[in-house]
Amino acid sequence: MEVSTLLVGWGWTYEQLRAGWQEIEALGFDACYIGDDLFPHHFDVDPANAEAQIEVYDPWTIMPVMAETTERMRIGSLVSPAGRRHPALFAKMTSIVDVISNGRLSVGLGSGNAPDQAHALGEPYLKASQRVAKLEEEVRILDSVWRNERTNFDGEYYTANKLVSFPKPVSQPRPEIQIAFKSKKFLTRLAAEFADRVNLLGNDEAGVQAALDALQQHCTDLGTDYDRIRKGRLCSVIFTDDEVGPDERENVLRERAVQLNREPDGLIYEHHQSDFLLSYVGPPDKCVETFRERNVPLGIDELVICPDTAGENSYENVMKGLRFIASEIMPGLKNL
């Protein structure tokens, strides 16, 4: 099992981000992904509700430095949303990062789930089917620009006219494409055609299995290799001294939120009410076995682990959690 992390980094300084990803590599994580947000978002609609003075760094601005200051682990976005950048420009940016990293880039893509960020740019928040169609055009342009001398494309959302882009990526035939999705309905066909890696969102194994079944069926229909695609899950862990029963979970999360200086409702929603990520709340000695039971039967190859939360968390709390995971949990997970 690969063990990776999502470096959210909201509210961190640039110096903390740089120190963080360098230590993450030294700790032995297989990959460090960066989120792609304009500002902290909590699935809101109105950008007026966004926190105004929280540092959020653009991943593709800092990714070249990340590539230059690491040597081993994969780096990339988790995930860049549809419509954030014109795919021709994005192809140029990612090609350069792939060159600097010597082929360690994973280009994470998704349909987008932050209406407030779209509205902040004066753009409509498209329906899910439209966002998927837009992402498909982006992937097709990216794939062509990375591989070919010139790219022509005439779609509903994007156009490219005899486009050239050099240098080409180091990775052959192109950088790794990672597609994140939750529903079996959306993105599974696109992933079957183009993805080298997928990230399954959700805390329900039945839903994850249904999405994987749909992915496998699309691979069969398209003649692509399902087993070649690496499968990952985004997860968050909160460690406790004792096992936590269902009736105790909310109180434990409230106490942990106070320790993290966070609003309790946000942490409770993330771990107890939403179906966004794989949640573990319990003692460290049960974590590996729980993750084995919940992931190995599904064929999961990678766990992308965030200590405490996949949202705002301080540099000190995150790095303390990652150090503990690396020393106490990672050896067991890598042997799954």
Domain limits, the chain: 2-235+284-334
Look up the pTM and report it.
0.96
pLDDT of residue 273: 84
What gap in Å lies between CA 324 and CA 27, rounded to an integer? 10
3-class DSSP assignment, residue 84: coil
Q: Which CATH number does the domain 2-235+284-334 belong to among 3.40.30.10, 3.40.190.290, 3.30.420.10, 3.20.20.30?
A: 3.20.20.30
Q: List the structure tokens of 262.
A: 């966070």
pLDDT of residue 169: 98
pLDDT of residue 240: 96
Collect all residues with Cβ–Cβ distance below 8 Å to 202 and sequence separation of at least 6: 182, 208, 211, 275, 276, 277, 278
**Residue entry with tokens 């990339």:** 76
Mode of pairing for the β-strands spanning 159-163 and 151-154: antiparallel
pLDDT of residue 43: 79
pLDDT of residue 309: 94
pLDDT < 50 regions, the chain:
none
The DSSP code for 300 is -
pLDDT of residue 323: 98
Judge whether 287 and 327 are in contact, CB under 8 Å: no
pLDDT of residue 42: 79
Cis-peptide into 145, omega within 30 deg: no
pLDDT of residue 249: 93
Phi–psi pair at 77, nearest 5 degrees: -100, 150
Q: List the structure tokens of 233.
A: 């899950």
**Residue entry with tokens 């005899």:** 162
Surface-to-core class of residue 228, CB atoms within 10 Å of its CB (0-12 exposed, 13-18 middle, 19+ buried): exposed
pLDDT of residue 41: 82
pLDDT of residue 172: 95
Q: List the structure tokens of 63.
A: 């990714």
Residue type, 242: D
pLDDT of residue 274: 85
* DSSP secondary structure string for all residues of 262-298: --HHHHHIIIII--SSEEEEE-GGGHHHHHHHHHGGG
Task: Note the Cα 77 to chain centre separation in Å.
Answer: 6
Task: Report the largest interatomic distance among the alpha carbons of the chain, rounded to a whole angstrom.
Answer: 62
pLDDT of residue 143: 98
